[in-house]
Structure 1
Amino acid sequence: MNAQTIDNEKLQCHVDAHPYPLVFATISGAHLYGFPSPDSDFDLRGVHLLPLDHLLGLEVSHETVEKSGVYDGLEIDLVTHDAKKFFGLMLKKNGYVLEQLLSPLVVHTTPEHEELKQLAAKCITRYHGHHYLGFAANQWKLFGREEPPRVKPLLYTFRVLLTGIHLMRTGQVEANLLRLNETAKLTYIDDLVARKLEGPEKGRLETGQLEYYEREYQRLLAELETAMAESPLPEQPTARATLDDLLVRLRLQEGAGP
């Protein structure tokens, strides 16, 4: 498999050019999920800290910073949220932000990033299962829209379902499909990943294969629903007060300057 390598030095330069101080920046997307193609872009995700004078008016701008393009030969898609917005997302049933926070592919970190990672467990609830059910349904729709269908949205569908099942059963966020499959032992995953990595010509499925994968989709969907119903995870996050304290501390540090 000819997966793309990660050039941390080039990515770090891109992060250093961010207009606001960063709490963290990690790599998400196909690199995090374990099946980047040679031409996969780099999805950089993270948290920035707006200056206090940006927060005083009725309108708060740049709560989200987005930038994409080709830099130093790397196709990069960067999205960061201001700390307040990101902390709010952590308290909702949003598994995506927890995957970003806990990504092992770290480009930039701080002590506060480590604090946030410790707080992630207190944000996870059984209702995060709804996030993964909805995400899987959207990916399945994308898979069904193309003729012949592509391998990529099918892999994303199975990745989302296995992440959700694992989270409901263990309380642990794991976004890497290959690691998840060490437990799930789905015999077709390695073949699908290999086909995606070999490029567009190999990255499509035969029409006759669709019925089999639809049965697998429905089976895993039901497995996630059962895991959610039986999950020992709490119904509400318990990290709100601690996140509030951390946000105030970050704001005061930023206000104090260098």
Structure 2
Amino acid sequence: MNAQTIDYTKLQRQVDAHPYPLVFATISGAHLYGFPSADSDFDLRGVHLLPLEQVVGLDPGEETVEKEGIHDGLEMDLVTHDAKKFFGLMLKKNGYVLEQLLSPLVVYTTPEHEKLKAIAKDCITKFHGHHYLGFAATQWKLFLKEEPPRVKPLLYVYRVLLTGIHLMRTGEIEANLLTLNETAQLPYIGELVERKLAGAEKGRLDAADIQFHEREYAKLVAELEYAMEKSPLPEQATGKAALNDLLVRLRISGC
């Protein structure tokens, strides 16, 4: 499978142009999930740090910075949150932000990024399973919405469900579908990825395919629900104090 080459130098230039200091910037989206097409855009995600005067003053800074477009010949979508907002999301059973934080595709990092990753394990609970069930249901609706349905949203369905099952069983975040399937051994995943990479002509499914994947979707939803019920993960996050301490130190130091 031909994965799109990642030009970290060009991505770094976008990070360098960010209006605020960054704690980290990583790549999410199809590149993280293991099935980027040649024309896939780059989803950059991260955490920035607002200066103290924009936190305590009357004129608030940007909690979220968004930038998209074509830069240096690459289509990019950059989204970063201020540290306080991001830390709050980590405590709200949001698997998406944990995937961004723990992404192995790192464009920019700091010692505080490493500290934040260490705290992340104390923010994971068994109720993160609800995040992945809800995310999968949304992606399934998107899959059925188009006529004929495309392979891409179906891959997102399977990626989300397998990530959730793996997390409930192991307490580890893994977002790469191909890596997840080394354990899940779903025989159709490789073919679906190949069809997605082949382009629009082969990226559609017929009625027989849809019926098959409806059964697979229902089976994996039930598997995730069972994994969540039996998960050894705690019911409550215990990382709040450590996040608070890190946030205070970040504000004082200005990163």
Interval containing the TM-score (normalised by the shorter chain): over 0.9
Q: Residues 242 and 34 from structure 1, CA distance in 2 versus in 1: closer, same or farther, beyond 3 angstroms?
A: same
Q: What is the Cα deviation at residue 3 of structure 1? A: 2.3
Matches within 5 A, 1:101-180: 101-180=101-180
Maintained 8 Å contact 1:2/1:198: no
Q: CA deviation at 1:112?
A: 0.2
Q: Any gaps of 5 or more consecutive residues in structure 2?
A: none
Moved more, 98-107 or 202-211: 202-211
- Looking at structure 1, the residues matched to 217 and 208 of structure 2 have their Cα atoms a distance apart, in angstroms, of 16
Aligned: 1:88 with 2:78: no
3-state SS of paired residue (1:122):
helix
Secondary structure of the residue aligned to 1:125 is: coil
Cα shift at 1:60? 2.6
Distance in 2 (CA, whole Å) between partners of 1:59 and 1:17 is 22
Structural mapping, 1:210-225, within 5 Å: 210-225=210-225
Distance 1:18 1:43 in 2: 15
How far apart are the structure 2 equivalents of 1:81 and 1:178?
29
Q: Which aligned pairs between 1:9-158 and structure 2 lie closer than 5 A?
A: 9-58=9-58, 60-158=60-158
Q: Give the whole-Å Cα distance in 1 for the aligned partners of 2:127 and 2:34.
A: 25
Deviations 1:64-84 (A, max 9, x none): 000000001100000000000
* TM score, norm. by length of structure 2: 0.98
3-state SS in 1 of match to 2:173? coil
C-alpha deviation, 1:2, in angstroms? 2.9
Q: Over aligned residues, Cα RMSD in angstroms?
A: 0.9
> For the residues of structure 2 that align with 1:72 and 1:41, how far apart are their CA atoms?
12
Which digits, 9 at most, give the CA deviation of each residue in 1:113-145, with x for residues without a partner? 000111111000000000000000000000000
Partners of 2:24 and 2:171 lie apart in 1 by 23
Letter in 1 for 2:53: D
User: If the length of structure 1 is used for normalisation, what is the TM-score?
Assistant: 0.97
Q: Residue type matched to 1:30 in 2?
A: A
Which letter does structure 1 place at the counterpart of 2:152? Answer: K
Aligned match of 1:203: 203
Q: How big is each residue's C-alpha offset from its partner over 1:40-86, in whole Å with a ceiling of 9 and x where there is no partner?
A: 00000000000011112356330000000000110000000000000
**8 A contact 1:167–1:173 mirrored in 2:** yes
8 Å CA contact retained: 2:47, 2:83: yes
CA contact (8 A) 1:28 1:43 kept: yes
Deviation at 1:154, TM superposition (A): 0.2
Kindly state the Cα deviation for residue 4 of structure 1 after the two structures are TM-superposed: 1.1
Q: 3-state SS of the aligned residue for 2:26?
A: strand
Letter paired with 1:93: K
Residue by residue over 1:221-248, the C-alpha shift from the partner in whole angstroms, topping out at 9 and shown as x without a partner, is 0000000000010011101001100000
Asked if the contact 2:171/2:233 (under 8 Å) is kept, the reply is: yes
Matched pairs, number: 255
Residues 128, 146 of structure 1: alpha-carbon distance in 2 compared, 3 angstrom cutoff: same
Contact preservation (8 Å) 2:25, 2:47: yes
Cα deviation code 1:152-175 (max 9, x no counterpart): 000000000000000000000000
